[in-house]
Chain A
């Protein structure tokens, strides 16, 4: 920003947009800072101390959460990491291979396949979740890790992004050169295509990681055993059990805080990948 020339007359104008932006930022940070402060309060302090005054109960809260049903909270955390990490990785690989094929080959049925896959974007998950549950139940796979992992691998929008990205990131000439050198198509995908697609695919991975991490409906429907719950479903059951017992609120609040720390860390460390122009390529094209 600093390198841009700022005409004198316009400098004062910056006050209004900057003010609006700061207001927006405060609004967005409010609940996050609230949970940060509230997690430090003991059950008693939660109702007596003023809203943004820190309390003295953080480590007690942690101990309580640790003890809750033999540490099931950490189990939920590990499950979530497995669902989100494994699911997003597989999803990214599938999307990248599909995007590469759709962008870099001309073949019979290309547009048809693309349109059908992309049509999946418009299918509301409401028509999928229940029959997916029934089908998994028929196979005896409901209430297993697979039931949450497998349905989240296909992500039509990621395929679309991968296609756009492969189109701009992989020069045809490079593939040509590879073919002249006698490379097989598999080698072109794994040694030329995928490496060039990595920056874009990191973004696809991150977005899919967050989507799975945040998903509630699918695991809520699929799982019954709380040892397999992800954080979202676990925290929901904690809330459903504790809504009428204010003495449990501190447990829920501490759990909520811990559940968002990993994603916020991912955010702050991977920042440059959150603003790539993957979709910008689509508009320019």
Chain B
């Protein structure tokens, strides 16, 4: 039982304050997840020609949909594309974010304000608009850089990764920079007194202290990257090399709303969610160890 430690009396107040969040969580998170699981276990059975009203009914098929989803070549082809794309995005985006955060935090940089605002600016540009701007810049008839078919089969992954890097670096830079600013300056003064260079301070003191923040940004970036949807969907009208199942989430969308197979879509989205959870879980354990220390 929780007694009044720290002074707060036992009352219904905290539960009341949490009620909106819990209700929203139940309605828009828990319920939809449950519904996805439910749908993934079912399928429409068609009898006869499937024309009359009673000829289609929903039946329970257990894990059949999941089995089919996991064995689907289209899904894994998409997963492979996203793996390549995602690795590129994560490494370049987080690398640049870390580099710029360290530069902004170093004592000797000029134009820091201009740089910080400019690099953060793309965060204010919606993914659709970013894809649209870069998409036009990639178009052979409009591009300022000739000789490269940015939207061709061999370059399109890089072109798309560039959009994500452009859009995501600033936000991650801000998170890392904010964390850097929170480190007491006195840590560096001692090192400087000992003759350590700025680079050495960055490598030996700043980066190790940033580890929890780097992990946090990595987890969020991984979750976002696995679900890439906006960029390829927006570029599709401009390029014929992006299929309607280019990324796993695009396949889910197609299954659900174009082919109308909700059950497969539900099963596939569970597979994507599973992969996403497994990938982020390892990271999260470390994050919890660091960021939540105050609670233990």
Interface residues in chain A, defined as those with a beta carbon under 8 Å from any beta carbon in chain B? 1, 4, 6, 10-11, 13-14, 17-18, 20-22, 24-29, 31-32, 34-35, 38, 46-47, 50-52, 93-95, 97-98, 100-102, 104-108, 110-111, 113, 116-117, 120-128, 130-132, 134-135, 150-151, 153-154, 159, 167, 172, 175-176, 179, 185-186, 189, 210, 213-217, 220-221, 231-233, 235-236, 239-240, 243-244, 246, 249, 252-253, 256, 259-260, 263-264, 266-268, 271, 274-285
**Interface contacts beyond A21-B115, A25-B111, A34-B133: sample of 6 additional A-B pairs, CB < 8 Å, sorted by A:** A28-B118, A28-B170, A122-B219, A154-B24, A179-B7, A260-B129
Indicate whether A24 sits within 8 Å of B35 (C-beta atoms), given known contacts A35-B133, A38-B136, A117-B21.
no
* In contact, A31 and B137 (Cβ under 8 angstroms): yes
* In contact, B108 and A14 (Cβ under 8 angstroms): yes
CB nearest to A11 among chain B residues = B108
Residues on the A chain within 8 Å of B144, using CB: 50-52
Name the residue among A32, A253, A267 with the largest chain B CB count within 10 angstroms: A32
* Distance, CA A68 to CA B31, complexed state (A): 40
Q: Is B207 interfacial (CB-CB < 8 Å)?
A: no
Name the residue among A13, A153, A271 with the largest chain B CB count within 10 angstroms: A13
Indicate whether A18 sits within 8 Å of B28 (C-beta atoms), given known contacts A32-B125, A159-B21, A167-B294.
no
Residues on the B chain within 8 Å of A278, using CB: 178
* In contact, A24 and B126 (Cβ under 8 angstroms): no
CB nearest to A47 among chain B residues = B141
Indicate whether A131 sits within 8 Å of B35 (C-beta atoms), given known contacts A20-B99, A97-B17, A271-B117.
yes
Name the residue among A151, A189, A260, A284 with the largest chain B CB count within 10 angstroms: A260
* In contact, B32 and A25 (Cβ under 8 angstroms): no
Q: Is B241 interfacial (CB-CB < 8 Å)?
A: no
* Distance, CA A97 to CA B169, complexed state (A): 31
CB nearest to B13 among chain A residues = A185
Residues on the A chain within 8 Å of B200, using CB: none
Q: Which 5 A-B pairs have the closest CB atoms?
A: A280-B182, A185-B13, A25-B118, A243-B237, A14-B108
Indicate whether A256 sits within 8 Å of B132 (C-beta atoms), given known contacts A34-B137, A94-B20, A240-B237.
yes
**Which residue of the partner chain, among B126, B175, B198, contacts A232 with CB atoms under 8 Å?**
B126
